[in-house]
Structure 1
Amino acid sequence: MTTTPRFTGENPVLKFDKLDVQFRTEFGTVHAVKGITLSVEPGEVMALVGESGSGKSVTATTALGLLPKTARIQGDTRVTDKSIGQLSGRQLRSLRGNRVAMVFQEPMTALNPVITVGEQLTEAMEVHGVAFGRDAWDRAVDLLNAVGIPNAERRAKQFPHELSGGMRQRVVIAMALACDPDVIIADEPTTALDVTVQAEILDLLRSLKDKLNTGILLITHNMGVVADMADNVAVMFKGTIVERGPVEQVLLQPQHPYTKRLLAAVPRLGEGHGQFGVAPNPVEPTAEAALDVRDLVVEYHRAGKKPFRAVDGVSFDVRRGEIVGLVGESGSGKSTIGRALLGLIPSKSGEVRVLDQNLLGLRGHELKSLRKRIGVIFQDPAASLNPRFPIGDVIAEPMSVHKVGNAKEREARVHELLDAVQLPRSVYNRYPHELSGGQRQRVSIARALSLSPDLLVADEPTSALDVSVQASVLAMFTELQREFGFACLFISHDLAVIDSLAHRVVVMQYGKIVEKGTREDVLLHPQEEYTRRLLAAAPVPDPIEQRERREARYELLKELGDEVVELDTRELDYDARGPRTES
């Protein structure tokens, strides 16, 4: 494939020239970035791709002058005509936000929780001398309007916790725009978002670079986002750039083995079972139900307010040996159902039969006995594993609680489980913080299987993992399900993951089921509007196909009467601010 480059690197707004970063630690020197050269031009989206630990975020942080004093930096980093290494602290503060801005991965940590959204926007403008007082407030409201936040005047007076995740991310983008920067660094800007909100944020960023000619350095490990957004791609591995080029060339004709491995690990919507070399066993339609949920209602009570109904009359079942995918966006009630099935939160009404026993009617010893037959895998292994327990004790804890076997038998069972989840037995005496994220999730799976459960509830078990780690965990999970034959309720918002392993799919919105059926019926031939929206918003790692999918999504939104998200530059008056003043 031959492509004529739109961007030549001759007029960069951000350039790393032979950047080399090393960190001094108590255990020696860590060589994080190894002499990379990379540039971003006005109007260009350069995607910096790689897994955790590859050096992406360290590279980006260098452009803001925010690396700690333990970092030894060599080479040159330039933002427009300014060399970062030659600037004083005052000059760096003037540069940040003014010439180079950052959109962080998690907006709740990027926003001050005790200051209103409008005040945070005006603060940035007043610090950089863009606008003051009422003018700054009016411009803050204009910025919120520009990024598509409705009722901007009212929203500007609210605190971050009063906004949804998608709105918070829009606020962060508005803050990045406040001083009209030349380049924006977007560090995993959509990782924490639902698929439809992610599509809207990507539309907004695309509109931003097209209309304002802003350069964007996009840091991500999501190949679908790269295909949707990037003009050019640089692939990082262990601190070096191993491949670079136009997005079509890198994603469709990868040359480096690492790039090929990354792309091969991406689950693809529509390809179904067996994507990672192993497919779940087929399930007989006559198989008995391991889980049967009927008219489940869960409510949260708030002081002085009407109860909030998080789950409203939900009914579905999971047969023995079957994986049922429960999908939907944040707030749809997925995780609430999972917690209710585990007895961790009370249910207002309905019936939950687990292995033909009514879970909601059991108490004391009977409930504990039934819970022994249910395993659970949580989303964040770092939060669900006891940091004071070595791995052997973490996995053996359920057996200790339920008084299964003696110490020697429990140790032998733990070793069996470590083999099953493909971890070396040497981790037995190590602690959770000594393992990687993927290894900790394998420990979580081993712990969930320690009592040989008949039913497993998996709540977003791979969402926090890198793509290749996710692929290996999903392959291992499928092999374990084939071997142990447990029924599984797999909760996720990633439709491609569900497509790769589920037998049936249940789609939820606002606490209700909107569609359910076989994987083929729901994911390939959706009937309901909401399911069609979800599927249309899911990106694929093929830039040509993704372009077609994006156009098809726009047509669907028009058909359904929705507006396509765009940056409204009419709300922004950059000419009023005059020339830049930098110390």
Structure 2
Amino acid sequence: MSTPIEHRKTSVLSFADLSVTFDTEFGDVDAVKKLSLEVAPGEVVALVGESGSGKSVTSTAAMGLLPQNAHITGAASVGERNVVGMDPEQVRKMRATNVAMVFQEPMTALNPVLTVERQMTEALELHDLAYGQEAVDRAVELLQQVGIPDPAKRIKQYPHQFSGGQRQRIVIAMAISCNPKVIIADEPTTALDVTVQAEILDLLRRLKDELGTGILLITHNMGVVADMADRVAVMFRGDLVETGTVKDVLTRPQHPYTQKLLEAVPRLRHADEALASAERSGVSERERRLVLEAKDLVLEYDMRGHKFRAVEGVSFDVASNEILGIVGESGSGKSTIAKAVLGLLPVASGTLAVQGENLAALPPKEAKAVRRRIGVVFQDPAASLNPRFPIGDCITEPMVIHKVGNRKERLARAGELLDAVRLPRSVLNRYPHELSGGQRQRISIARALTLKPELLIADEPTSALDVSVQASVLEMIAELQAEYEFACLFVSHDLAVVDLLAHQVVVMKDGRAVEQGATSTVLHAPQADYTKRLLAAAPVPDPDEQRERREARRALLREQGLRVD
């Protein structure tokens, strides 16, 4: 058995007693406390924990990218070279050649005004690896390696001309362009659909095996951890509270925080459990009170005079006290339907009715009155709450717009709603930036319920949240529905969340509904090939079960005549 010092010599990335403290106007904040961790060549180490646990600060220390108000002690070594205290110019030379990073949001990592060719050749030229046509050829080869179709032609395009999954592939191609010894992947699949996520994970796994690159994977998705990691390190408030093999940590967690984290992970139910649940909660057709109804719905975007048909021939309904889940990949038309219900997109043809009133045929004044019965919760609470409004004004804004009540009555209603979403009334005078992401999403839900809506539109309301925060928000939505009996249109790409909440589900692909019906049927006995692919791509937080699912997915893709990386 090797000693820790001998092992450190063979590791491509190591942290020894790393501590990071930030100077702030409110005093010192200890973000990382005496962390020690190693990544070996060809090994994937997953660093997990909630927002604020210190995961990204740890990785940023290894890249030499911490801000000036950070005080760092201990060591963050790439190979045998300690980055802490190193000259900035030397650190810059190490980036890409020794250590590279794949960021969560590819559109912020890529320059929108430069072609992909320019951005990829820039790194090769900067590190004296290739110039001119040789650099272009190498960039094309890299794009081909990460699965971009027709790379010689597409390399001339700009980032916005690629899909989200393709942009993430380009970022990965840039990360491996200089053959780094270690890649730090910071939430590389959080913003992606399950099928695209599965493709990106397959790609990272293949590159790791072919190139022998070590990977530090930062994520809060336990399914991704089970799918990718060899070892797992769990962080909580700056401390490393548990480390071990992926099987030990995910199936036999020792620390109470790890146990709590894993208990909060939503999982697809077994078919018999889903069926029994559906039978218990079943409502007869005669008892259903329809709130939203769509018939042969067609939705179009006008793009400089050219009509782009985003949704075609979709029909569904949702009744009071029911949740209808809409699932599918990006670009399938999920959010487009939600926008049309909110009146943000005109109906090209077909019927879209709220409580029997067809929104497409109503004059603007009457349509506004109907929309008063609709509440909405968006994906990103930071972007949907006005940063200049205190929380009380954010919650009561719908009452002001629709001229409901006086100032005193509005504040009383805001207080009631804060009680309902389990937040203290003292937050009324605070601002959105003073709250955590989970608290902001609770405020968004409170605002959506201000006018006691008959219909709630929830567009990816938990995708940006940590698993434990997500679990409490989902539980709260179910409790509030039981109290207020609203109908809910729940848009999501997380099938486990839809399985947990929704009574009915519509599966969208390329603007059409490929399958719909009771959740217990669609998600547990799917008929459509596309639904089967979606379900096969959803990872589960058990490494043995996930290995079997990965192989089953590959077999399914081959059976359906599709490419397997």
| Structure 2 residue aligned with 1:168 | 167
Q: Aligned partners of 1:274, 1:484: CA distance in 2, in Å?
A: 27
| Structure 2 residue aligned with 1:579 | none
| Structure 1 residue aligned with 2:38 | 39
Q: Aligned partners of 1:452, 1:341: CA distance in 2, in Å?
A: 17
| Structure 1 residue aligned with 2:293 | 292
| Structure 2 residue aligned with 1:483 | 483
Greater displacement, 361-370 / 239-248: 361-370
- CA contact under 8 A between 1:293 and 1:353: conserved in structure 2? yes
Shift of 1:134: 1.1
Q: Aligned partners of 1:382, 1:284: CA distance in 2, in Å?
A: 40
Normalising to structure 1: TM-score of the pair?
A: 0.93
Q: Aligned partners of 2:177, 2:553: CA distance in 1, in Å?
A: 30
Counterpart code for 1:237: F
- CA contact under 8 A between 2:9 and 2:80: conserved in structure 1? no
Deviations 1:484-516 (A, max 9, x none): 111111111110000001001000011110000
- CA contact under 8 A between 2:265 and 2:471: conserved in structure 1? yes
| Structure 1 residue aligned with 2:412 | 412
Greater displacement, 182-191 / 377-386: 377-386
Confirm whether residue 145 of structure 1 aligns to residue 134 of structure 2. no
Shift of 1:368: 2.0
Shift of 1:373: 1.1
| Structure 2 residue aligned with 1:381 | 381
Gaps of 5+ in 1: 1-6, 566-583
Q: Aligned partners of 1:88, 1:398: CA distance in 2, in Å?
A: 54
Q: Aligned partners of 1:73, 1:532: CA distance in 2, in Å?
A: 49
Structure ranking higher on relative contact order (CA contacts 8 Å, 6+ apart): 1
Deviations 1:209-240 (A, max 9, x none): 11111100000000000000000000000001
Alignment of 1:117-516 (within 5 A): 117-270=116-269, 282-286=282-286, 287-303=288-304, 306-516=306-516
Q: Aligned partners of 2:198, 2:419: CA distance in 1, in Å?
A: 40
Confirm whether residue 521 of structure 1 aligns to residue 518 of structure 2. no
- CA contact under 8 A between 1:274 and 1:500: conserved in structure 2? no
Q: Aligned partners of 2:544, 2:259: CA distance in 1, in Å?
A: 18
| Structure 2 residue aligned with 1:569 | none
| Structure 2 residue aligned with 1:70 | 69
Deviations 1:551-577 (A, max 9, x none): 000000100111212xxxxxxxxxxxx
Shift of 1:119: 1.4
| Structure 2 residue aligned with 1:580 | none
Deviations 1:308-366 (A, max 9, x none): 10011111110121111011110001111001011111111111111111111112332
Q: Aligned partners of 2:16, 2:359: CA distance in 1, in Å?
A: 62
Greater displacement, 79-88 / 461-470: 79-88
| Structure 2 residue aligned with 1:59 | 58
Confirm whether residue 115 of structure 1 aligns to residue 114 of structure 2. yes
- Secondary structure in 2 matching 1:339: helix
Q: Aligned partners of 1:513, 1:524: CA distance in 2, in Å?
A: 17
Q: CA RMSD in A?
A: 1.7
- CA contact under 8 A between 1:273 and 1:499: conserved in structure 2? no
Normalising to structure 2: TM-score of the pair?
A: 0.96
Alignment of 1:528-567 (within 5 A): 528-565=528-565
Shift of 1:273: 12
- CA contact under 8 A between 2:103 and 2:187: conserved in structure 1? yes
Q: Aligned partners of 2:472, 2:136: CA distance in 1, in Å?
A: 50
Deviations 1:419-468 (A, max 9, x none): 00001010111111111111111111111111111111111111111110
Greater displacement, 141-150 / 389-398: 389-398
Q: Aligned partners of 1:281, 1:454: CA distance in 2, in Å?
A: 20
Shift of 1:9: 5.5
Q: Aligned partners of 2:447, 2:441: CA distance in 1, in Å?
A: 10
Deviations 1:512-552 (A, max 9, x none): 10000101110000000110010000000010100000000
- Secondary structure in 2 matching 1:150: coil
Q: Aligned partners of 1:324, 1:369: CA distance in 2, in Å?
A: 23
Gaps of 5+ in 2: 1-5
Deviations 1:471-493 (A, max 9, x none): 00000110000111111111111
- Provide the aligned length of Structure 1 versus Structure 2: 556
Deviations 1:289-311 (A, max 9, x none): 1111011111112236x411001
- Secondary structure in 1 matching 2:18: strand
- CA contact under 8 A between 1:272 and 1:501: conserved in structure 2? no
Deviations 1:68-96 (A, max 9, x none): 11111000111112111253222111100
| Structure 2 residue aligned with 1:3 | none
- CA contact under 8 A between 1:270 and 1:523: conserved in structure 2? no
Q: Aligned partners of 1:401, 1:157: CA distance in 2, in Å?
A: 47
Identity of aligned residues (%): 65
| Dislocated runs of 4+, deviation >4 Å | 7-10, 271-275, 278-282
Shift of 1:284: 3.2
- CA contact under 8 A between 1:283 and 1:322: conserved in structure 2? no
- CA contact under 8 A between 2:20 and 2:30: conserved in structure 1? yes
| Structure 1 residue aligned with 2:13 | 14
